[in-house]
Amino acid sequence: MTSVDNAAAATEYRAARHRMVGLAAALGAVDAERVVGACPAWTVKDLFSHVTGIAVDLAAGNRPQGDPQVWVDRQVAERSPRSLAEVVDEWRAAGPAFEAMIEARPDRLWGLTYDLVVHEHDLRNAIGDRSGRDTSGVALAARLGLRLVAMDLAARGLPGVRVVIDGEEHLVGDGAPAVTLNATPFEALRILGSRRTVAEIRDARFEGDLDAVVGGLLHMDPPVASLGE
């Protein structure tokens, strides 16, 4: 697979955080309670509570013990009584220390940059904002996401895939690729980030035997209904 610049992970996390904080500044109380279609158990405020809780906990050395979902659920629940502005202020304060951690260990923490850029666009989708799809953060996150695909393919014993992002070829997984996906960075990020329905995945620009590998392309359950992106 084409290499990814790990050194950019902290820079792009910081940039995505600043973009999301900027979006939050324009949101009112009704917007804070909007359901996030990509994460339907969460509101917009819950989404901010999630990314804030991760930054605060990891910067303090509080790592998940056992089921990581329990860890995430606690972070969201603890911030339930707070306003969106209060949660964002906490993230703003915790962000620099957390970004310093990513900068020090991008080889271990790159997944958090990927997660944040994905959630940036979950937020944008929830509030009807279609901008920000051509940032360098999206380009990096699309390529970082291929690492998750490689791990999922290997875990399931599936053949490799070929992903062409804006003309740049990435061979993902082991063995001859069973399928090729041609996509823009944003399309690759959302298709391979489990933000497309199965029908939408099948309508994407895949060539080859998609059925042979589709189980390794879905890191999480796909949405039942289209996000309309």
pLDDT 10s digits, 132-191: 999 999 999 999 999 999 999 999 999 999 999 999 999 999 999 999 999 999 999 999
pLDDT 10s digits, 62-90: 999 989 999 999 999 999 999 999 999 99
pTM of the model: 0.96
Segment (H or E) for 179:
strand 179-183
**How far lies 46's CA from each of 5, 102, 136, 179, in Å?**
31, 23, 26, 37
Length of the chain in residues, anyone?
A: 229
CB 172 within 8 A of CB 153: yes
CB 118 within 8 A of CB 195: yes
Burial 3-30 (b: 16+ CB within 10 A, else e): ebebebbbbbbbbbbebbeebbeebeee
CATH 3.30.1050 at 136-217, yes or no: yes
For the chain, what are the domain ranges? 8-127, 136-217
Q: If pLDDT is split at 50, 70 and 90, which confidence band does 56 have?
A: very high
